[in-house]
């Protein structure tokens, strides 16, 4: 009888021990994926200017709203999260503030993105490895503070050399003119590129106000400049470099970036 009781007690203890081990294994299985699986959020970095004056004219400038809003709509609706950076961070100046444009209005009235654009990151807060693409919005302000910003240039170079896309529109390519890759070459050298043309700059009577003519500088850096007539949409794609000529090209640049990402 004692032997039977002993065997029964031993069996119960063994089953209890096995059950505990099974519970421990289940807990490990339940918690392990949470530790190992990272979010697969798809992110693109938009660069906007912090500069608010057109040279010595006293006239205001900043980033051009449509050149943010139209690519944002294309990429955001495709599932991408957009972050914003500017040379100074914080709330950048805005130009071309036209809320009769439905896409501009949609962007401006989106609570999440309105908060984001008014609280841009500084370059030091950006981890380039978080982004599949970097996009430079235009607006005349870009001509003054984007070309010589070394931190932004390094971010863009790393995104590109990690296999990502570099895009820009209108005066946004001013941010590309001094980007150098790890081999010492300019990013735009030997590549097809476009941006705000010399003719368009003269048409708005700012050819003697901007620090340089963008078309001429891109050619000087070795870019193979393409263009259409004034104010006509024109998007140039050369591998993972995507550039647009003017505000009318902003949506097309967003669409070209999305196509390349896909």
For the annotated catalytic residues, the residue numbers are 170-171, 201
The token pair at 71 is: 């690519």
Number of neighbours of residue 120 by Cβ within 10 angstroms: 22
Residue with tokens 């970036």: 257
C-alpha gyration radius of the chain: 26
Distance from C-alpha of 115 to C-alpha of 252, rounded to nearest angstrom:
25
Residue 73 three-state SS: helix
Distance from C-alpha of 172 to C-alpha of 221, rounded to nearest angstrom:
16
For every residue of 155-176, DSSP letters joined together read HHHHHHHTT-EEEEETTGGGGG
Do residues 46 and 85 lie in contact, with contact meaning Cβ atoms separated by under 8 Å?
A: yes
> Please, what's the b/e burial string for 196-235 (b: 16 or more CB within 10 A of its CB; e: otherwise)?
bbeebbeeeebeeebeebbbebbeebebebbbeeeeeebb
Distance from C-alpha of 218 to C-alpha of 76, rounded to nearest angstrom:
29
Give the H/E segment covering residue 10.
helix 2-36
How far from chain centre, in Å, is Cα 172?
12
């Amino acid at each position: 009888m004692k032997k039977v009781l002993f065997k029964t007690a031993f069996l119960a203890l063994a089953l209890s021990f096995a059950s505990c081990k099974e519970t421990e294994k289940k807990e490990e299985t339940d918690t392990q994926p949470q530790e190992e699986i990272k979010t697969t959020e798809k992110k693109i970095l938009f660069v906007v200017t912090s500069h608010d004056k057109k040279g010595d004219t006293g006239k205001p400038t900043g980033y051009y709203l449509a050149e943010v809003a139209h690519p944002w709509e294309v990429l955001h609706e495709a599932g991408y999260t957009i972050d914003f950076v500017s040379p100074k961070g914080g709330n950048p100046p805005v130009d071309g503030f036209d809320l009769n444009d439905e896409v501009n209005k949609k962007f401006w009235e989106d609570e999440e993105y309105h908060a984001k654009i008014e609280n841009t990151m500084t370059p030091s807060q950006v981890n380039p490895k978080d982004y599949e693409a970097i996009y430079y919005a235009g607006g005349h302000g870009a001509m003054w503070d984007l070309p010589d910003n070394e931190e932004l240039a390094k971010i863009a170079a790393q995104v590109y050399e990690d296999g990502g896309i570099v895009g820009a529109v209108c005066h946004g390519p001013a941010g590309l003119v001094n980007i150098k890759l790890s081999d010492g070459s300019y990013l735009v050298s030997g590549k097809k590129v476009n941006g705000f043309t010399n003719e368009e700059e003269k048409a708005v009577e700012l050819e003697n106000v901007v620090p340089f003519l963008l078309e001429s500088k891109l050619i000087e850096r070795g870019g193979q400049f393409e263009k259409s007539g004034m104010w006509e949409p024109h998007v140039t794609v050369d591998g993972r470099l995507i550039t647009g000529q003017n505000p009318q090209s902003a949506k097309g640049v967003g669409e070209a970036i999305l196509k390349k990402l896909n």
